[in-house]
Chains A and B, each alone.
Chain A
């Protein structure tokens, strides 16, 4: 189970206490919150802005926004959702100022542009008399020891880094951080379908990258 998942549940369970602690000026509580969400804030910000340095600035600015709004926060959404909404607003403003196209407005409906999970050359022709659309080159099981090697993990990280920004954000929040699909949809302002399409494409590409590493043709 990913680390972020357990932590998120713990934060959610004690959110009222956390808010009380923050409002009372508890620095340890604030530091814990920053450690929990700051890396994800930077990653989500990177979908909107061009450089890692700008993403870091946007994430830091988000915390100032959080502090400014904290006394007015009524808990109608979760604290996490609220923080990521603040981030999205700041990041969008920054992207517009820097003359960048917003990722999701440019790609409103990812489902409209097909992107196969597996290359067409891996399958038999749809006109094949006996096995239309069946595997021509079947995937082979991966050896456990190779799968768990440190180098495989590096390839995996590289494959995620190479994804388009929106896909990278979705797979990172869902599969690295262990967020629920609803949390990701709220933070990234995505429809349920688009969240799943982006997640599917990201996972499919990462699987393919692992395959080409683990079972070289």
Chain B
């Protein structure tokens, strides 16, 4: 267990989480992260929180287009098509 931590510290791991989740790490590096996560409760929780953050961010409502802007743009569209 100690050996695994020596290879990759928690402090280093938190900088790799986006690369890890994006599949941007080299296979060897990805496995190093997996091995660390298997034995480290703190980092396991950290990555879980990171995933939850992404999931929750995906549920934020996107604001609508203002009716004024839409009217202006539709007018522009009609003028463009008529031209």
Cβ–Cβ contact B42 & A196, under 8 A = no
A152 within 8 A of B: yes
Q: B18: which A residues are within 8 A, CB to CB?
A: 196, 199-200, 203
- A153 with B60: in contact, given A123-B11, A203-B53 (CB under 8 Å)? yes
Whether B17 pairs with A200 at a CB distance below 8 angstroms is: yes
A96: interface (CB < 8 Å): no
A4 near B80 with CB under 8 A, answer no
Q: Are A35 and B57 in contact (CB under 8 A)?
A: no
Contact: B53 with A153, CB < 8 Å?
Answer: no
Interface flags, A83-118, vs B, CB<8A=1, else 0: 000000000000000000000000000000000111
Residues of B bordering A, CB below 8 Å? 2, 5-6, 9-12, 14-15, 17-19, 22, 24, 40-43, 45-46, 48-50, 52-54, 56-60, 62-65, 69-70, 72-74, 76-78, 80-81
Inter-chain CA distance A123–B10, complex, in Å, is 8
B70 touches A130 (CB 8 A): no
Report the minimal beta-carbon distance from A199 to chain B, rounded to whole angstroms.
Answer: 6
Instruction: A118 to B12: give the CA distance in the assembly, Å.
Output: 10
**CB <8 Å contact, A181 and B60:** no
What is the bound-complex CA distance between A41 and B11, given in angstroms? 36
A206 touching B62 by the CB < 8 A rule? Answer: no
The answer for the CA separation of A1 and B5 in the assembled complex, in Å, is 35
- In the complex the two chains form, what is the Cα distance from A31 to B10 in whole Å? 49
Asked if A81 is at the interface (CB within 8 A of a chain B CB), the reply is no
User: In chain A between 133 and 171, which residues have their CB closer than 8 angstroms to a CB of chain B?
Assistant: 133-135, 138-142, 147, 152-153, 156-157, 160, 171
Question: 10 nearest interchain CB pairs?
Answer: A133-B9, A138-B42, A200-B18, A25-B81, A135-B42, A133-B11, A175-B57, A2-B58, A67-B80, A207-B53
A60 vs B10: C-alpha distance in the bound complex, in angstroms?
46
**Contact with A27, one of B5, B72, B74 (Cβ below 8 angstroms):** B74
6 CB contacts below 8 A, A to B, read A38-B65, A39-B62, A68-B80, A117-B14, A142-B49, A203-B53
Max chain B C-beta neighbours (<10 A), residue from A27, A138, A177 = A138
For B65, the closest partner residue in chain A by CB is: A38
